[in-house]
Structure 1
Amino acid sequence: MRLLVTGGAGFIGSHFVRTALAGGYPGLSGARITVLDKLTYAGTLTNLPDVDSTPELEFVQGDINDVDLVDGLVGQSDAVVHFAAESHVDRSITGAAEFVVTNVLGTQTLLEAALRHRLAKFVHVSTDEVYGSIPEGSWPETHALEPNSPYSASKASSDLLARAYARTHGLDVTITRCSNNYGPHQFPEKVIPLFVTNLLDGLTVPLYGDGLNVRDWLHVDDHCRGISLVLGKGRGGEVYNIGGGTELTNRELTERLLASVGADWSRVVPVEDRKGHDRRYSVDISKIHAELGYEPQVEFDKGLADTVAWYRDNRSWWEPLKQRAALGG
């Protein structure tokens, strides 16, 4: 198989690529993988194996809105796994334009190329945030899309485009919607790596509002395994939720992170709540379990401990990224 992975130098995409190249997904044994990534602030080649010594891997730096580049790469591929996205909610609140350009127009550029070349399979990686907020219970894939941030609105828009290309043109497009990911190689603007790296440096951490917003936590390894199952056997035109099964308030998560580095609550600084802050997310994973046999395998406490240890042992990876972000690079 010739596989094109967009955003493959980012947190989730690079984990998928590394695992696939290491033989972690039986359906991708022997696959040749091309990574297309713009290498914005959150993407780095340090997330990927060395291209020169990995003959099954090709890296192309470029924009998913580059029509000619995308057309050429899709035309050489059997399938696309589309991770590339602007994904930080806070950044979308202060400036939404990049989110629309990348998440909506970029997805449309890829879908149009897939249609021209009658691509065999297109997996569009999305988020549970498109559903909005749910006070109790869990969202099935049929729940209405009710996004509350510019980020989630841009992802919901791209989901609808993906669905439209499947319904209108018969393109084999599947959509995955995941809960909050964590694990190694996550850019230190998201809550777990931000808190861990700040705490390791003796700094404080910010806690939004009353800290009672609830998130379901999904280890990146479980997420990518779910995506590999959808790529292999997912039904075209369908949506699959991928969840981790561990719901925590932000206060509970903060307490665990403090304990993991031997810090106390004096290191926590309450801050004004995020605009439009969704109260609770929870996805129903019964569909992907029944159809594809997915269930999360990484127990949260172990996954979190391993993640904290990875950041403790890999300062050389995250310190330059935080410095570059602080300088606006």
Structure 2
Amino acid sequence: MLTSTSTGRQDAPTAPGRIPGLGHTRALLRDPVGFIGSLSPVGGVVRIHLGTRRVCVVTDPALVHALLVTCADGCPAQDTLKTAFAPARMAAYVPVVQKVTRERVDRWQRGQVLDVAEEMNRLALEIVARALFDTRLRDEGFAAFHRALPDLVKGRIVRLLYPRPSLARLSLPVNRRFDAAVRALGEVVDRTVSGPLLHSAAETMSATLTRLFDELLRQRDVMSRIVAELESQLGSDEHDLTMGAIEHLPYTRSVVQEVVRLHTPDEFLLTTAGQDVGLGPYRIPAGTELLYNRTALHRAPALYPDPQRFRPDRWKDMSIGGGFAGAELAVVVATVLRTWQPITVSGGPWGRIRL
């Protein structure tokens, strides 16, 4: 919860284009990233209407940071994640990520055709299960996750943005598919603390890994530069990937960071002000729902010139953050490309590769 004072501040402006009865719901559901990105010129915090709900969208990066820091204070889930992703634990995860990836890669055969999304889904789920929870999932668990993932992601976003929470209980197609996805995953993963965390981490990892290899397949020069860097820095030893080794792969890390920036899965954070608060120059009344979208933030022209272009070299002189996701992606791409340089299947559907 936010707990600051709001004395002497102004009310957040209202977004244009409000439709009677619907508010801004249609625009938000039709194009979440585009709509939220369009709010930045209106203000650092902008009020939108989702039916009868009034939500303040935080568009200013500095205010998003303030919101996240405040929300993290005293949150048990945040404390759990901080412990899981502490530097000492991170160093221990890297060998696990490499081992799981190597096991997967060793199953591939020369000339084999693979579906990138399916392979990355399986790899991400196995990495998260083994690294964070020291457990293995059976083949039926991988299959259930792969089938359920699209409905799980879409359903969660739509439910978050419903004008009224009661709509989540209606027998709408999106609700039925979401409920079925949750039931399917519940059959193969414990319904304890690890269950939701496993789903969330694996969803993000699988989607980002898929987009990473999509970019490498589209831009062979990027893949070639990574391979050259791997050969130069790591040589022929396949078992020397450590956090220290990853630090000596600046171009690989830049590619990973650019994928995370440009292709991060749609993610909404929604919290409620417990009392009247101040966020920058804005007055936020008690009970106000506050929302931000990470994808829109990552495509803000003020932060990233020419934001729609995939440009790894933009990170050459910028700080690259760490974290489990960045380390995992770097280890996976290094492990795969030291053995295989896949190509797109000619004349086939996008996302199919040949080894």
- Hey, which of these two has a bigger chunk of strand by percent? 1
TM-score normalised according to structure 1 size: 0.24
- Taking CA–CA contacts closer than 8 Å with sequence separation of 6 or more, which of the two structures ends up with the larger relative contact order? 2
- Hey, which of these two has a bigger chunk of helix by percent? 2
TM-score normalised according to structure 2 size: 0.22
Q: Say which one has the larger Rg.
A: 2
